[in-house]
Amino acid sequence: MALELTRRRTMLGLLSAALWSATGSAIAFARDAVALLPGKMALRRLTHRPPNYETPLEYFRSTLTPNEAFFVRYHHAVIPSGSAEDHRLEIGGSAVERSLSLSLPELRRDFAVAEVVAVCQCSGNRRGLFEPPVAGLQWGHGAMGNARWRGVRLADVLARAGLKNTALEIAFDAADAPPLDATPDFIKSLPIAKALHPDTLIAFEMNGAPLPEPNGFPVRLVVPGWTATYWIKHLNKITALESPEKNFWMSTAYRMPRSIFPLVSRFPSQESGERAPVTEIAVNSLITSMEADGALVAGRSELRGIAWDSGLGIDRVEVSFDQGLTWRRCELGENLGPYSFRPWRADWPALPPGQYEVWARAANRAGQVQVEKPIPNPSGYQHNAFHRVPVRVSA
């Protein structure tokens, strides 16, 4: 088995290198292609190995994103294909009294079930919209989705293991693996306060159905309000730590300049100098009611969209037709919880015939407001500039 896994990793690594050589960059490969994954509708493909697929904008017209249209994001190309019956979740580490090994049936049977509606959003969502371009997968608006997640509270599982008061972080590993042994395993950690938050779940259902395989089957971590880098798929190992996790994905990757991204949700044990880990989802909004050509037609197209943030709560959404000189407040729709997409709508103003551009911006109850232009940063994280869509007004 170990020999076979090594052989598969080597082959996948060689394939990735060949694709890089042939296209000039991993991003260039099939970035505008539309492709099918098992159990999925046609999604926009950025890379095939590892699988990275984006949700088309039209699926955000409903508050909950359909499972079959939900985006797919992987760092590693060796994806597990085990059964729910065989899956084990191992809990251990120096900061627990006892180790546990739990099956999926035991998780369902032995712990209280909890549910939360929450946006899962890649830290690099909209990276492809930065000017000048930055390195990395060139996501548009669709590296995100909103779902009703069902599972058990991480805090309850840690309590069963006897979490010690010396615990500083909780680390998470998964069954997916890198193609080459030298590639660092994708391990992420959470500060103890976020790990013990009652909305942080070990989820086994998504929108009333078992997790799709590309979205973490059979169990995954759900960390409402924080970006998807912490939402570990195919979760199989939890480790309670008394010191900070130091692997590549925590100490080097997914970090941004702290001075230009003030955070409400901090991760003090992982902060160093001027660099801090990406944590909370930035307040954002999206216009979703465009015509097939991507434009709005005044009086014919609806003027609708969604807004979301880290769970502090959407306070208002506004639209402007005069490049931000004046703003019109929109009507907010159903509220499925603080971490969910919040739908909004607006009536069309009286506009003379011509070409316009509508801008949309959201603000949350903590006073955070979308920015006019994305904040430049080396990795293209937290793009939350106004959404701008062309408008045609006929005579």
Residue type, 395: A
Is residue 289 located within the same domain as residue 260? no
Q: Quickly state the pLDDT bin for 248 (edges 50, 70, 90).
A: very high
381 plus 305 within the same structural domain: yes
CATH code for the domain of 193: 3.90.420.10
| Tokens of residue 194, six digits | 């976020």
Q: How far apart are CA 250 and CA 276, in angstroms?
A: 10
pLDDT digits over 308-333, tens only? 999 999 999 999 999 999 999 999 99
Same domain, 262 and 313: no
**Choice among 12-26, 180-194, 238-252 with the minimum mean pLDDT:** 12-26
Can you give the residue range of the structural domain that contains 298?
A: 284-393
pLDDT of residue 178: 84
> Which residues have C-beta within 8 Å of that of residue 231, sequence separation ≥ 6?
120, 216, 220, 221, 222, 223
261: pLDDT confidence band, cut at 50, 70 and 90?
Answer: confident
- Quick check: 180 and 109 in contact, CB under 8 A? no
Amino acid letter, 49:
R
Query: Which DSSP symbol is given to 238?
Result: E
Q: Are 335 and 360 in contact (CB under 8 A)?
A: no
Per-residue pLDDT tens digits for 29-39: 334 567 778 88
Q: Tell whether 289 and 272 lie within a shared domain.
A: no
Condensed to tens digits (0 to 9), the pLDDT of residues 171-201 reads: 999 999 888 888 999 999 999 999 999 999 9
Give the C-alpha distances (Å, rounded to integers) separating 276 from 91, 179, 235, 256, 279.
27, 28, 25, 6, 9
229 by DSSP, 3-state: which?
A: helix
SS3 193: helix
State the pairing for strand pair 113-121/144-153.
antiparallel
Domain boundary among 277, 295, 317: 277
* 55 and 165 together in one domain: yes
- The whole-model pTM stands at 0.91
DSSP state of 234: S
Q: Are 117 and 149 in contact (CB under 8 A)?
A: yes
